Amino acid sequence: MHTDDLPPSGASGDSSRHENAAQDVIAVDADDNEQEVVNRLVAHTGDGIRHRAFTALVFDGDGHILLAQRSPDKRLWDTYWDGTVASHPERGQTQVEATEQRLEEELGITPSQYEDLRVTDKFEYKRYYLNNGIEHEVCTVLKCTLDTTALDPDPEEVGGYLWIPYEHLHDNPRLYRQLRLCPWFEIAMRRDFN
């Protein structure tokens, strides 16, 4: 999903040299049972290969969700707004461990800032992004609430961030049309309120 994945259509250069060409994701069946480890670029091309992913929704104590804008250097869904962080766990890594790692790497949020990181949902989705690639994922949703909201975003990962009222975003999508939301976050939010 998410630190991503293919050179833009018409881009010069060899896609095998992209940093993600040396990375793997975990291919899974529809029930999230591990099948094999596959190359990350391969998993995000053509019709894609279903693989394991996660998205984390981070809140403050007042019901605001932290949205992070994906860096303009991302290959898929660049400059879109995400539900805090999203990525892929490595083989042998739990979803909670992977989420803790990405929260710290992307936003400087350490485990000392929350105590309630938990899995709340899981769903499968498939979406194409322009001519650049595809996401076909079994996506686990995790949530936590920060005790302190100090952040230290990595500009290579995060283009911007903002706190917004979660229920207001869900109930009034027309007011937030200027925020192009990542599809996995929109699905997670819609399911969260059903």
pLDDT at residue number 57? 98
Answer whether 0.85 is exceeded by the pTM.
yes
Contact residues for 177 (Cβ-Cβ < 8 A; gap 6+): none
Q: How far is CA 86 from the centre of its chain?
A: 2
- In the chain, the domains with their CATH numbers are 15-192 (3.90.79.10)
What does the alpha-carbon distance between residue 169 and residue 95 come to, in Å, rounded to a whole number? 26
Least confident of 14-18, 19-23, 79-83, 176-180: 14-18
Please check whether residue 117 is in contact with residue 142, taking contact to mean a CB–CB distance below 8 angstroms. Answer: yes
What does the alpha-carbon distance between residue 161 and residue 140 come to, in Å, rounded to a whole number? 22
- Among candidates 171, 178, 162, which has minimal Cα distance to 192? 171
167 is catalytic: no
Which of 100, 106, 137, 157 does the annotation list as catalytic? 137
Please check whether residue 110 is in contact with residue 104, taking contact to mean a CB–CB distance below 8 angstroms. Answer: yes
Query: What confidence tier does 65 reach under pLDDT thresholds 50, 70, 90?
Result: very high
Please check whether residue 127 is in contact with residue 81, taking contact to mean a CB–CB distance below 8 angstroms. Answer: no
pLDDT digits (tens, 9 = 90+) for 17-46: 445 556 899 999 999 999 999 999 999 999
Q: At residue 185, does pLDDT exceed 50?
A: yes
pLDDT at residue number 73? 87
pLDDT digits (tens, 9 = 90+) for 127-176: 999 878 999 999 999 999 999 999 999 999 999 999 999 999 999 999 99
Distances (CA, A) of 83 to 18, 63, 142: 25, 14, 10
